[in-house]
Structure 1
């Protein structure tokens, strides 16, 4: 059986989407004659935790750990709430305090590529012995945080071992990168490190065709698209919400804030008495203040429920019972290739998906291909109103359903088989 060392930062009890991808890959790799060995930090700073995921760690997986120093812990002395939100990706664009601006400048310019950089050198030294002891043939690094890829880069230089670099998100082209108040020197350093990783790794894995095309302009190394996926049994006996619920599950970052949708909902609340009585916008997860302000501005707040963070299992149940599942992405060129992991769980939930995102968004094409719902750009208010009203009328007569199909290739086991072939 081939041994593979996986180097990751996020692992249970971490919550959020970052942990799901490799938790599931590791669960199924043995089915394809690959034995995973895991390396993770011993004392990480996880802004979101989901202890229920600890039960999903497969038995017998050997895990190596080494302590990590993270500046977020020191910054938390001054403002734990602000540092947690920044480390979660919730970067406010309005009314930033001096402290927030200072945190962002320090985060962007002193901690390159990110605040986990201090784990790189100790990990390289530690893993040299692990690789020899375990007779590891291949290492895989998964980021963000992209400092994890620098561990792979160091091991590649020292041992010339086969190295696969997995990018769950892009590096310098991801939306929040521009918000880090980077100096020109810092921008160049990020670009240089990105290029070194992409040109030194033997193979690269990405989660979208858009990211693959971006990276192809930087490297000639082979790039494979392996998306995220779903790993749940589809339940047919889940009781749907009695109200017409439109639910967004996951973090609503600053920028994921479509005025066009809020306007459409606001007008429907004014124009349709039944809609006002029966509609509920449900937000599950961390929501930025900017989004909350706009929801209030458009007078949707009285029909909005802020659910807060749920465990992964509870989030899955929430998806299945919701009348409509909402998916929002930032309206920018950089985000058209972002395919959130929850998309595939939405597909498996078999509820209509309402997407709002940038032009040529890959998710929009995915929704169309699977016949799972409708996706709109940020200038489609009337079309949004039309589809929401259509679905509401179907809900009134108990005929609102999803006919999503051809989703089996996105199951976690099928994707792990794809990964195994790549290995």
Structure 2
């Protein structure tokens, strides 16, 4: 039975519709409550206030973070119409010189200053005897920074759940020891060392991330330092999905991507691979469509659309948010589009950090029960999970293999024989109870 029940949860993003860093912790809450945890959540004002437990929302103290938080708060309250554009534009204009000064003096990522109110209010609660354990999660590293301050000041048990690697390596030969030129990157190097020294538990989302953290911090897993381990974050059924909708073939082959795009994670990879497909199968030119949901198109994709004249091939739908007319949340609308897809595209990227990263969208894709086409880079763990589920798989840096996979998808679709996904989704309950078990074990070994 867990003896540390009153948890202070530090999560900059919380109850933010469709935001991966929010869903990772928000989806754990029912299971934490089920296990008897009594949470107090500290977050920014960017999400919806939770009514199930104490949830306190704080404005960040720095101008850049204030601008970020204000934009999300206005969107939640009034939507993204004219008032949003006018009010956020005025605030951005007023804050511009202060943001420039903050960047010049510190050079940290915008949410750093949320650490200050989180620390001060957390310290008050701990001194009042209302907190048994600190749990920082992110996402934004400000939560871990506040957790570090509180740990050093009070000695309370501390769990750090690290979503993306804090130290971004540049090449397979780069272990992350070299001092970074960017001030934010240097601070993240420092923060990782502090977490590995002071946290009671430190978890990462991939085997690669744990491996490189241990290379840089050989004290990890020694009795007086953090116990580091890997836990798959999983996902809850998107939008409350309880079962997959039966797939229906249509006259279009719909390849759908959900989530962020960038030059290192670009749909241009697929657009370029369509060129030989259309040459070999001219009828495919009118039958294949690529749909992008959730983010603006990256520059490489925009360039490829113009260069290849693919305006009718790639359709950009943007971010799906709550629909006032139907009441459906962004997550509910997303799952509808996922289930309407013929194949779900999972772009991994082409940077070295892919070895330590699995796109969070992968876990939601598993619930949609649609074929996945994974275009991956240097991550055997992700490749294995895709293979186990019967996915189409291509290495990012092998264009010929990408073209081959696309042709196979086309032929399978034409024959109405797209692969049927196998295996089961990875839920959040397993992640939550793994953390609880690790914490209880740590407490018992320290007793």
TM-score interval (norm. to shorter): 0.7 to 0.9
Deviations 1:201-249 (CA, angstroms, capped at 9, x unpaired): 1110111111101111233121121122121123233545541011001
Partner Cα distance (1:185, 1:72) in 2: 16
Q: TM (normalized to structure 2)?
A: 0.77
Question: Counterpart in 2 of 1:366?
Answer: 385
Question: Counterpart in 2 of 1:272?
Answer: 281
Aligned 8 A contact 2:12 2:114 in 1: no
- Cα separation, partners in 2 of 1:127 and 1:268, compared to 1, 3 Å: same
Deviations 1:166-223 (CA, angstroms, capped at 9, x unpaired): 1111112178xx9xxx746665444223312222111101111111011112331211
**1:152 partnered with 2:157:** no
- Cα separation, partners in 2 of 1:146 and 1:103, compared to 1, 3 Å: same
Aligned 8 A contact 1:109 1:183 in 2: no
Count, aligned residues: 381
Deviations 1:38-84 (CA, angstroms, capped at 9, x unpaired): 1112x34xxxx8xxxx59x5x522112332234336878xxx9xxxx
1:394 is displaced (CA, Å) by: 2.4
Question: Counterpart in 1 of 2:416?
Answer: 398
Match of 1:297 among 281, 294, 307: 307
- Cα separation, partners in 2 of 1:345 and 1:187, compared to 1, 3 Å: closer
1:368 is displaced (CA, Å) by: 1.2
* Comparing 185-194 and 341-350, the one that deviates more: 185-194
Match of 1:216 among 211, 214, 222: 214
Partner Cα distance (2:13, 2:211) in 1: 26
**1:71 partnered with 2:63:** yes
Match of 1:226 among 219, 231, 253: 231
**1:380 partnered with 2:375:** no
Partner Cα distance (2:249, 2:201) in 1: 44
Partner Cα distance (1:17, 1:123) in 2: 21
* Comparing 219-228 and 276-285, the one that deviates more: 219-228
- Cα separation, partners in 2 of 1:387 and 1:116, compared to 1, 3 Å: closer
- Structure 2's unaligned 5+ residue stretches are 72-96, 171-175, 221-225, 321-329, 440-447
Question: Counterpart in 2 of 1:21?
Answer: 24
Match of 2:374, SS state, is: strand
* Comparing 198-207 and 120-129, the one that deviates more: 120-129
Partner Cα distance (2:100, 2:169) in 1: 17
- Cα separation, partners in 2 of 1:143 and 1:106, compared to 1, 3 Å: farther
Q: TM (normalized to structure 1)?
A: 0.81
Partner Cα distance (2:279, 2:214) in 1: 49
Aligned 8 A contact 1:336 1:360 in 2: yes
- Cα separation, partners in 2 of 1:388 and 1:172, compared to 1, 3 Å: same
Question: Counterpart in 2 of 1:417?
Answer: 433
Question: Counterpart in 1 of 2:80?
Answer: none
Question: Counterpart in 1 of 2:256?
Answer: 247
Partner Cα distance (2:243, 2:101) in 1: 45
Question: Counterpart in 1 of 2:205?
Answer: 207
Aligned 8 A contact 1:266 1:300 in 2: no
1:324 is displaced (CA, Å) by: 0.5
Aligned 8 A contact 1:327 1:354 in 2: yes
Match of 2:195 among 174, 190, 197: 197
Deviations 1:356-376 (CA, angstroms, capped at 9, x unpaired): 1223353222201332x1221
What CA RMSD, in Å, does the superposition of the two structures yield over aligned residues?
3.0
**1:312 partnered with 2:331:** yes
Question: Counterpart in 1 of 2:158?
Answer: 163
Match of 1:116, SS state, is: helix
1:122 is displaced (CA, Å) by: 3.0
Aligned 8 A contact 1:347 1:404 in 2: no
Aligned 8 A contact 1:240 1:320 in 2: no
Question: Counterpart in 2 of 1:345?
Answer: 364
Partner Cα distance (1:160, 1:271) in 2: 66
